[in-house]
Amino acid sequence: MMNRIDETFRRLALRGEKALIPFLVAGDPDMETTRELVLAVAESGADILEIGVPFSDPTSDGPVIQRSAQIALEAGCSLPRVLEMVAEVRRSTQLPIILYGQHTPLFGYSAERSAAYAAAAGIDALSGGGSIAVVRFRANSGIAPGTVGSFNLSSLYLNDGAIPAVVN
């Protein structure tokens, strides 16, 4: 079964087009504004949206994302609140959404529970940044491509720190 991301890339490839994939940090400046921004991105013609889950130690991110994550955390943003917001915007848009974050906030529950929660909210892919998150994602946390695949999620990670690669 093809998910929204697979379908988007298939459609773009048939037309010889590239994807526009903007990035937002959830919760900056607050969750209501994030919800409005997600809908505005969808209405503005983006092909896919990547939503970052703020983390208390975003040292692998640049200063702009670090500041945005700090603002979001101070405003009370959390993974459950991000998933609730995505579930809410799913009533208005079918824009493919990638959930990006470090290992701890994304997979602290367990790989299977996190994948189930993400899929139930309407997330299309999970993406972890930085080689530490990738190593834990693939080797230490018990997350296998089949785990997220069984929920029809794509699992994405940053290869060599900059190039998105699909592992499932």
Q: What's the rounded Cα separation, in Å, for the pair 159 and 168?
A: 14
User: Among residues 65, 62, 83, which one has the least CA distance to residue 73?
Assistant: 65
Helix (H) / strand (E) element for 31: namely helix 31-43
Query: Which of 36, 61, 88, 124 is the catalytic position?
Result: 61
DSSP 8-state symbol, 54:
P
Q: Is 61 a catalytic residue?
A: yes
Catalytic residue among 17, 32, 47, 50: 50
Q: Parallel, antiparallel, or unpaired: how do β-strands 23-25 and 49-52 relate?
A: parallel
Pick the closest to residue 109 from 81, 73, 79, 154 (CA basis): 79
Alpha carbon distance, N-terminus to C-terminus of the chain: 13
Of 77, 93, 94, the C-alpha closest to 3 is 94
Neighbours of 63 (CB within 10 A): 8
Q: Please list the active-site residues.
A: 50, 61
